Amino acid sequence: MRFRDQIVWVNVDESGRPLTDGEGRAEMKYREQDEKSYRPSARNLVSLTAAEATAPAPVQRPKPTARASRSPIKDGAGAPKGGAGAAGTVLGRVDMAGVAATDVVHVWTDGACSGNPGPMGIGAVVLYGPERRELGEYLGTGTNNIAELTAIERGLELAASWLGEAVRAEKIVKVYSDSNYAIGLLSKGWKAKANQELVARIREGLKPFRRLVFVKVEGHAGVAENERCDELAREAVVRRH
């Protein structure tokens, strides 16, 4: 979105409207990777044009304006809970204006680990229109971070196998995860200090997806599909299946 004369990152809902707190303020960042966020009034935010939405993000961070609150808020604050409409921090520049439900694939993922390291499981739920596919898989022994990364990989593989290879080029694919670690490595350019081969493999697998968006959701907060993924992952660990 645009805040005055700057293109900024804003926490939005499925329709592209800013999510607001009780005072009508939205969450805003000047750059995607910034840790600090600001809370301008939603009235001061303007939707981008299609050309602006697909343009590269600005490299330099401007000084915050006097009216932008410096109080940070948590990811997903003010977001509705449950289902494909649950919102989080959108990490991508895809113009959602006028997008039909048949053009969007929702990929929910979660990893679980009994001990860290310990037995790992993953869960994935893919939603496309009124239909859904689910996956639970036992991975063996490893860490929670490995499980979270692998869940994203398997979720995207499930979407492609179900809907065909064209999903990578034609559909908007929204990946929902509660893992800051996984989202940071796969969408923010974080350097992998561990699990380097796994991260490199997943990054390579992301390249064919032309309209990929990562959404950070809060874990164990009653978000329906996130909770379902957690259930699938834990069941996989228990059953070793």
Active-site residues, by number, are 110-111, 148, 178, 220, 230
State the SS3 of the chain.
CEECCEECEECECCCCCECECCCCEECEECCCCCCCCECCEHHHEECCCHHHHCCCCCCCCCCCCCCCCCCCCCCCCCCCCCCCCCCCEEECCCCCCCCCHHHEEEEEEEEEECCCCEEEEEEEEEEECCEEEEEEEEEEEECHHHHHHHHHHHHHHHHHHHHCCCHHHHCEEEEEECCHHHHHHHHCCCCCCCCHHHHHHHHHHHCCCCCEEEEECCCCCCCHHHHHHHHHHHHHHHHCC
